[in-house]
């Protein structure tokens, strides 16, 4: 097992990978590079059959259609095997499983993907890392939580929308708490003054 410990940053090319995933009760091979031209949310989580993890995995699946409508796919990743993923997917939510999901769960059993994204902790589990990768394969956003608290799907979507907005409006930037339809800032001194006068 080759594990690296280099640091990646926002703006870097997202480390590519090829791994086995479970999707629609089937094993399939997934390459990150196959998603060029789309945005991707990489959703690292510690382990299947735990407590916080299913709440996140299910919440992102429940919002999948909205995320997909933003030209974005979700890929869940943990250090479990594909067989463990399959068992978790085949178990209903009331019994501790996640049931049918609308996106794949990737097996990172050799821990190379988690290591390449620098989310592998000293116990060999993935921290709660969330990465938004743009259509060119560049990391535009990263968020890493410790194990005991989950992430906000709504905030992930808001951030994704802000990324897409500024990438299509190159002379504008999004202020704090920006939501689609709200005011942006022209990225020059006079434009900034106009924004602050308007709020």
- For the chain, how many structural domains are there in total? 1
What pLDDT, on a 0 to 100 scale, did the predictor assign at position 197?
85
Q: What is the mean pLDDT of residues 139-143?
A: 98
CATH assignment at residue 97: 3.40.30.10
**Segment 25-52 mean pLDDT:** 97
Q: Could you tell me if residue 158 is inside a domain? A: no
53 annotated active-site: yes
What's the domain range around 91? 18-151
Is 30 part of a structural domain of the chain?
yes
The per-residue pLDDT of the chain, averaged, comes to 94
Question: In terms of Cα–Cα distance, which of 76, 152, 86, 83 is closest to 114?
Answer: 76
Rounded mean pLDDT, 116-140: 97
- Tens-place pLDDT, residues 47-97: 999 999 999 999 999 999 999 999 999 999 999 999 999 999 999 988 889
Scan for tokens 């979507």, then name that residue.
157
Residue 117 belongs to some domain of the structure = yes
Predicted local confidence at residue 98, as pLDDT: 95
Quick check: is 105 in a domain? yes
Phi, psi dihedral angles at 2 (to 5 degrees): -100, 115
Q: What's residue 129's pLDDT?
A: 97
Q: Does residue 43 form part of some domain?
A: yes
Locate the DSSP E strands across the chain: 18-23, 26-31, 39-44, 72-78, 105-107, 128-133, 139-145, 172-173, 185-186
CA distance 54 to 49: 8
Give a yes or no: residue 162 inside a domain. no
Instruction: List the catalytic residue out of 40, 41, 43, 53.
Output: 53
Mean pLDDT (whole number) for 130-134: 98
Give a yes or no: residue 132 inside a domain.
yes
pLDDT score of 2: 41
């Amino acid at each position: 097992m080759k594990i690296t410990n280099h640091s990646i940053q926002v703006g870097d090319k997202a480390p590519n990978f090829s791994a086995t995933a479970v999707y629609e009760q089937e094993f399939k091979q997934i390459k990150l590079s196959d998603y060029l031209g789309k945005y991707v949310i990489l959703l690292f989580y510690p382990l299947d059959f735990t407590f916080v993890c299913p709440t996140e995995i299910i919440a992102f699946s429940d919002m999948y259609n909205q995320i997909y409508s933003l030209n974005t796919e979700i890929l869940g990743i943990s250090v479990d095997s594909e067989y463990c993923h399959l068992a978790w997917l085949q178990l209903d939510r009331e019994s501790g499983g996640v049931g049918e999901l609308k996106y794949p769960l990737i097996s990172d059993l050799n821990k190379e993907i988690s290591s390449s994204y620098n989310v592998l902790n000293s116990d060999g589990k993935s921290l709660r890392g969330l990465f938004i990768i743009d259509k060119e394969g560049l990391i535009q956003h990263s968020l890493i939580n410790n194990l005991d608290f989950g992430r906000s799907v709504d905030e992930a979507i808001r951030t994704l929308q802000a990324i897409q907005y500024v990438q299509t409006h190159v002379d504008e930037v999004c202020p704090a708490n920006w939501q689609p339809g709200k005011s942006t800032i022209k990225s020059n001194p006079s434009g900034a003054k106009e924004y602050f006068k308007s709020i």
